[in-house]
């Protein structure tokens, strides 16, 4: 879960097999990619997100944006703006949920290597009111050059930058500072993912990174737990202290069933 002024939940795909237990996306997503079926999973995730947003509103909970990852491959096999718009109406989301609460995430690698058809569909999505986030930014594919080709609302720094801040005499610290400076000048928000230590969090907050995400804040949890967290008013702030986080996590634990 991200925290901050544009906080959002991130929809994550997990396969809970009754015999094998939880299967990592790293195991099943490459299979879908190989057979050009990944768009089916991504559109399914978008449909579930829209249904769950309706569920939250029905439960009287505050509405927060949700981001869904899409692959460049999806745009080769489907008209994604049309598909998302169809889901937006068929799920009833158009009656309750502004499009700005729905975020499409694309990786930097996909943005750098995709076709004109792909970029045109992304422009269409933004013109319709959906938001666009760039994931894995700084992973070595295009970096700052991507800003000259397309408008995005937010960039998510590749976790390798965060987890290796001090490698090679701390060059990643300087890279992150420069990226934040350019993004801020262009009116683009920044998010650091993969935060696992207080030192990483403190550095990112000190250099002006807008948002933070990682196991230090919270691990992925089922929707039911998220609903309980929000309902119990335990939503975490932008760069909360360890004491505040412990308080939030304690408050978010469902009560023990009566014996």
CB 225 within 8 A of CB 196: no
Percentage of the chain lying above the pLDDT 70 cut: 75
Range of the domain at 148: 9-251
Share of the chain above pLDDT 90, in %: 36
List, for residues 55-74, the tens digit of each pLDDT value. Answer: 878 777 777 788 999 999 99
Separation of alpha carbons 212 and 145, rounded Å: 24
Is 3 inside any structural domain? no
Angle between helix axes 80-90 and 38-58 (nearest 10 degrees) is 30
Please determine, for residue 10, whether its predicted confidence score (pLDDT) is greater than 80: no
- Whether 97 is in a domain gets the answer yes
Total structural domains within the chain: 1
Work out whether strand 189-192 and strand 154-157 pair parallel, antiparallel, or are unpaired. Answer: parallel
- CATH number, domain of 35, equals 3.20.20.450
Residue 39: pLDDT band by 50, 70, 90 thresholds? very high
Q: Nearest-CA neighbor of 75 among 143, 30, 37, 121? A: 121
Q: Which two tokens stand for residue 182?
A: 């350019």
pLDDT tens track for 98-142: 999 999 999 888 887 778 888 899 999 999 999 999 988 877 655
pLDDT at 4 over 80: no
58 assigned to some structural domain: yes
Q: With respect to residue 45, please indicate whether it lies within any of the assigned structural domains.
A: yes
> Is 4 within a domain?
no
Q: What is the mean pLDDT of residues 145-160?
A: 81
Burial of 54: CB neighbours in 10 Å, binned 0-12, 13-18, 19+: middle
In a domain, 1, yes or no: no
Residue 259: inside a domain, yes or no?
Answer: no
């Amino acid at each position: 879960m991200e925290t901050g002024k544009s906080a959002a939940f991130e929809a994550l795909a997990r396969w809970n097999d009754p015999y094998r237990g939880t299967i990592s996306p790293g195991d099943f997503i490459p299979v879908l990619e190989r057979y050009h079926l990944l768009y089916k999973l991504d559109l399914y995730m978008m449909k579930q997100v829209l249904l769950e947003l309706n569920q939250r509103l029905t439960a009287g909970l505050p509405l927060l944006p949700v981001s869904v990852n899409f692959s460049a491959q999806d745009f080769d096999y489907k008209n994604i703006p049309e598909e998302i718009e169809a889901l937006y109406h068929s799920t009833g989301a158009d009656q309750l949920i502004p499009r700005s609460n729905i975020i499409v995430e694309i990786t930097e690698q996909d943005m750098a290597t995709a076709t004109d058809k792909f970029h045109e569909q992304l422009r269409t999505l933004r013109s319709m009111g959906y938001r666009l986030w760039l994931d894995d930014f700084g992973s070595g594919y295009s970096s700052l050059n991507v800003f000259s080709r397309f408008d995005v609302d937010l960039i998510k720094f590749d976790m390798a930058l965060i987890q290796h801040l001090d490698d090679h005499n701390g060059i990643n610290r300087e890279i992150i500072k420069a990226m934040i400076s350019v993004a801020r000048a262009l009116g683009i928000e920044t998010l650091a993912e993969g935060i696992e230590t207080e030192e990483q969090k403190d550095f990112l907050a000190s250099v002006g990174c807008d948002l933070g995400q990682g196991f230090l804040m919270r691990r992925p949890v089922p929707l039911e737990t998220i609903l309980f967290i929000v309902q119990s008013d335990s939503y975490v702030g932008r760069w909360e202290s360890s004491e505040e986080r412990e308080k939030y996590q304690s408050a978010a634990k469902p009560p023990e069933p009566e014996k």
